[in-house]
Structure formats: C-alpha cells, structure tokens
Amino acid sequence: MWDNLVMTDMNRDGMAAETVHLLQDLIRIDTSNPPGNESAAADYIASILHQNSIEPVVIEMAPHRGNVVGRIKGNGSEAPLLLYSHTDVVPVEREHWSVDPFGGMLRDGYVYGRGALDMKGIGAMQLAVFLAIRQQLNEQPGRTLQRDIILAATADEETDTDQGIGPLIVRHPDLLRAQYGLSEFGGYTMYASGKCFYPIQAAEKGTVWMHMSATGRPGHASVPHDDNAVVHLTRAVDKLSRARLPMHVSPIARAYMSGLADGLGGAQGAGIRALLSSTDEKGSPLMERVIRDPGLAGELRAITHNTVTPTGLYAGQKTNVIPSSASAVLDCRTVPGFGGAEMIHELKRALGSAGSMISFEIDSESPPIEFTTNTPLYRIISQTLKHHDPYGIPIPAMLTGATDAKHMAKLGTICYGFSPMKFKPGEHFSDMVHGHNERVSIESLAWGVQALYDVVSHFCGLA
Ligand SMILES: [Zn+2]
C-alpha cells in the first residue's frame, strides 16, 4: 500500500527545503499577540497561494487581524479536509534569547524563532503539502482529489480576544466547513521510560472560568469576630487546594492510558491498568501510588479529573475594615462530559460544610471536546506514523489546554491534533513551546512534512 505513496527523493528534499524556507519567512513576520498584526502573515501566504494558481480569500476580522483561506477543489465524492493553523505567536522576552526571535536563523541544523513550534512550523508544513499537491495535480492532468482540501491560516489563537477562526466560522461558515480538520498538538514524538509514543490529539478539556465568593459581617477590625468573609474565603481556597475531586475516565483518556500501558509494559503498565480498573473514588488517590514518574502522574491526573486552580484573590479596601465579601478567581478545566454546572457541584461537595458561606459565579465557559478515533483518517494517520517510525507507538490523546479545534467542532468537524515532528530523546514538545530560543530541527520538519503529505494525499485519493 505504501509503494505508490513514496515520492522521489528529489520531491522529498524539495518539500523539506520549501518548508524550512516558508518557516523562516513566517518567523520574520512578527505576529506577537498582542497586538497580532497577522495580516502581514496572511498577505504573505496569500501571495504564495496566488503564485501557485490557488486563489486565496483574505478576511480581516478587525484592522490588521487577517485570516487567509485557500482551497484545492476535488471531485466532491467525499467531504472536505481542512488543514488549519494560527499565524499569531506569544510574545518574547528578548533578553533571554541567544538569537533574534524574529530572525528565522538557521543554526546547528535548527530553525530558530518564535513560532518555530507553535505553530508556524506546522503552518509551513501544511502550506508545503498544499502546494505539493497542487503541483502534482498540475503535472498530471486528469488526476483529481476525492475531496476538497482547504488550507486556513488564521489570527488570534493565543489570546481570548477572538479575532480569528471563532468569528470566521460564524460569519463565513462555508469557507471552512469540512468533515475533518488537522492542526496542532499531536503526532510528534513523546518519550516515556525509554519508549517512543506518538500521541494523536482527539480530545481537549473544557475551560470554566469563575469567581468563588464568600460573604460575612462587616465591622471594625479592632473588634475581631467569627463571621469574616476573608477568613471564610481563604479556608475554602485552602480546602479546594487539598481536595480530591472524583476520577472520570472518558473514552479517549481510556484509550490513551491503555496504549501507554501496552507500550510501557512492566510495573508502570500494570500500574496504569490498575488505575483504569479502579472505581472513580478509589482511582484518584491510587494515581500517585501506582505511577512513580511525577510528570506522568500529573498528566494522567489532569486528563482524568476536573481540576480547579485559584489564580486571583480580591478582598478589602481598607486595613481597619472587615469587608462584607471576598472573592477568588478560579481556573477550572473539565474532562469530556462535564461543564460548569457539574464543576460547581463537585466543588461544593469538596467544600462540605465550609461551602455554606460560599457562592460560585461562572464568568465564561468553553466546553470540552472529544472525537471518535474510529475513522478512516485516524487509521491512515496511525498507519503513516508507524510506517515513518517503526519503533513509534501511535496513541489517541487528550490535550489539557485548548486550541481552535473548539471552534471547528461547532461546525461538526472532526479535529485531530496531527502536526508530525520527530524529536530526539530528551526533547519534549511541551518544554520547548512558548519558551526562550524556540526552535525546530530541519530533520524534524523534513520527517514531518513527508508524513503529513502521505496522510493528506492518501486520504484525499491522490495516492
Ligand atoms: Zn498553538
């Protein structure tokens, strides 16, 4: 099945070189968000699409916040595939960089710059694959794709101001409507206990931002009393920080943990299996006992529990006045199947009698998402990863943060985090992303763009 997918060495090298070149150019366009200024990146991508006889659509959701979309038409026998990336990047602390973060410099086999990993490197791979497929169709008249391939490079993923794909799918849904979408956070090497895994993201936790408030009796601070809102609140914060919320294992969390257990084997594998067979109330304290790697235990805890993190406190205006209320800001993350109401229910249960003085108010909420992996696309991704790294073990995965997949899910799109990259042992994607001296190896990009090309061309019937 693979023989007819393999490109000639010249094409392979050409696609890798093109990816590096595109990435260097994209890094040199400073799209630090805020303020973003993604129109410069959108215009750059649009001009490349135009040069390759693909007519782009550029839409600004606000001045300088450009989004660009291109499409290669198929014969329509299958529904479209979307390759999407965000063009904005997080800001840099220049004094901590050893190179210009917007220089796109090559050094020791790496491309350096803000966005090299998150996610201009992936955007460059997607663009290179898109152009390679266009070129292949041009060179072979009569060949057609079974489905449209849509390429979208959008603004404003890194902040909450929502000038990118969120309003784009509301105002121009037909531009992006697709059966499947591929984007960031997945498909790259993850090492654990000497084994090599490829997590493919098929779920994301939800976000619930809320205030927790306590009320009490106001008064003069020179006469202390027991009904102090500040004391009620801090007791509640302390109790929540030590609380064990129940364990909930969603289908993707279960598949991830089963895949890890199979791959790791030995005591670690047996430990993960013990966790999976435990009931929800027992599972939670079991976590630390059976998983000895604290990083892995923390990650497994996060994907199997709703979590609460206090991130702010507000109380009082004057030193000698006992305030009548005090509030804490809570960042809560929910596993698939749980929203704000269930989160509050769990927090109240954890507080017990201490919760009688406490009220909760949700400020904003974004639901979790979870997609089936029983799809032809997931199978092709998994087979392709195994083909390109016979020692690697592809497993479905859940992201504890959030990506633009949340928006695409509203259009019914099945989204996978698939941005293939091959890291060396000791290199961890999560350690390098958003960090100083962000970089990606040329070898990793070359490996990744080939894997992405193979998945897209096979899935769209070009192979
Ligand atoms: Zn990103």
Share the mean pLDDT of the chain: 93
What spacing in Å lies between the alpha carbon of 136 and ligand 1's midpoint?
Answer: 29
Same domain, 283 and 398: no
Same domain, 169 and 281: no
Residue 59: count of CB within 10 angstroms of its CB: 17
Q: Facing residues of 395 across strands?
A: 199
Same domain, 302 and 401: no
What spacing in Å lies between the alpha carbon of 91 and ligand 1's midpoint?
Answer: 13
| CATH value at residue 264 | 3.30.70.360
What spacing in Å lies between the alpha carbon of 94 and ligand 1's midpoint?
Answer: 20
What spacing in Å lies between the alpha carbon of 87 and ligand 1's midpoint?
Answer: 9
To the nearest 10°, report the CA torsion of 372, 375, 379, 381: -80
pLDDT > 90: what percent of the chain? Answer: 83
What spacing in Å lies between the alpha carbon of 36 and ligand 1's midpoint?
Answer: 14
Cβ atoms of 89 and 114 within 8 Å: the answer is yes
- How high is the pLDDT of residue 384? 97
Parallel, antiparallel, or unpaired: how do β-strands 307-315 and 325-334 relate? antiparallel
What spacing in Å lies between the alpha carbon of 403 and ligand 1's midpoint?
Answer: 7
Instruction: Tell whether pTM > 0.85.
Output: yes
Q: How far is CA 184 from the centre of its chain?
A: 6
Cβ atoms of 198 and 394 within 8 Å: the answer is yes
Q: Where are the beta strands (DSSP E) in 140-247?
A: 149-154, 180-183, 190-192, 195-204, 206-215, 219-220
Same domain, 77 and 97: yes
Q: Facing residues of 152 across strands?
A: 69, 84
Same domain, 381 and 336: no
What spacing in Å lies between the alpha carbon of 117 and ligand 1's midpoint?
Answer: 8
What spacing in Å lies between the alpha carbon of 431 and ligand 1's midpoint?
Answer: 14
Same domain, 373 and 341: no
285 pLDDT band, cuts 50/70/90, is low
pLDDT tens digits, one per residue of 319-334: 999 999 999 999 999 9
Length of the chain: 463
What spacing in Å lies between the alpha carbon of 119 and ligand 1's midpoint?
Answer: 5
What spacing in Å lies between the alpha carbon of 347 and ligand 1's midpoint?
Answer: 30
Same domain, 95 and 208: no
Cβ atoms of 301 and 398 within 8 Å: the answer is no
Q: Which among 332, 366, 400 is the end of a domain? A: 366
463 pLDDT band, cuts 50/70/90, is confident
Give the residue from 110, 189, 122 showing the smallest Cα distance to 152: 122
pLDDT > 70: what percent of the chain? Answer: 96
Residues 6 or more apart whose Cβ sits within 8 Å of residue 401:
185, 204, 205
- How high is the pLDDT of residue 4? 40
- How high is the pLDDT of residue 290? 73
| Phi, psi angle pair for 240, to nearest 5° | -65, -35
Same domain, 249 and 319: yes
What is the tally of structural domains in the chain? 2
Give the residue from 122, 60, 119 showing the smallest Cα distance to 88: 119
Q: 281: domain range?
A: 204-366
Q: How far is CA 91 from the centre of its chain?
A: 18
Packed helices 9-28 and 442-459: angle between N→C axes, nearest 10 degrees: 110
What spacing in Å lies between the alpha carbon of 241 and ligand 1's midpoint?
Answer: 29
The more confident residue out of 399 and 271 is: 399
What spacing in Å lies between the alpha carbon of 439 and ligand 1's midpoint?
Answer: 14
CA distances from 337 to 33, 61, 207, 369, 389 (A): 32, 32, 12, 8, 34
417 pLDDT band, cuts 50/70/90, is very high
What spacing in Å lies between the alpha carbon of 32 and ligand 1's midpoint?
Answer: 12
What spacing in Å lies between the alpha carbon of 73 and ligand 1's midpoint?
Answer: 27
Query: Cα separation of 105 and 27, whole Å?
Result: 9
Give the residue from 56, 58, 95, 85 showing the smallest Cα distance to 72: 56
pLDDT at 308 over 70: yes
What spacing in Å lies between the alpha carbon of 372 and ligand 1's midpoint?
Answer: 22
Same domain, 393 and 276: no
Q: Of 109-113, 157-161, 243-247, give the lowest mean pLDDT range.
A: 157-161
Same domain, 186 and 268: no
5 pLDDT band, cuts 50/70/90, is very low
pLDDT at 2 over 50: no
pLDDT at 291 over 80: no
What spacing in Å lies between the alpha carbon of 210 and ligand 1's midpoint?
Answer: 24
> For 411-422, what is the mean pLDDT?
97
Same domain, 325 and 377: no
Secondary structure element (H or E) that encloses residue 281, with its range = helix 280-290
Residues 6 or more apart whose Cβ sits within 8 Å of residue 455:
182, 377, 380, 381, 384, 418
Residues 6 or more apart whose Cβ sits within 8 Å of residue 447:
388, 420, 421, 422
What spacing in Å lies between the alpha carbon of 72 and ligand 1's midpoint?
Answer: 24
- Tell the burial category of 319 from Cβ atoms under 10 Å away from its Cβ (0-12, 13-18, 19+): exposed
pLDDT at 8 over 60: no
pLDDT tens digits, one per residue of 124-167: 999 999 999 999 999 998 999 999 999 999 999 998 778 999 99
Bond into 119 cis (ω within 30):
yes
Cβ atoms of 206 and 333 within 8 Å: the answer is yes
Q: Which among 366, 393, 418 is the end of a domain? A: 366
What spacing in Å lies between the alpha carbon of 80 and ligand 1's midpoint?
Answer: 23
Cβ atoms of 184 and 119 within 8 Å: the answer is yes
Same domain, 383 and 351: no
Alpha helices per DSSP H over 106-264 = 120-139, 165-171, 173-176, 229-242, 251-264
Give the residue from 173, 154, 152, 172 showing the smallest Cα distance to 164: 154
What spacing in Å lies between the alpha carbon of 415 and ligand 1's midpoint?
Answer: 14
Q: Which among 348, 366, 384 is the end of a domain? A: 366
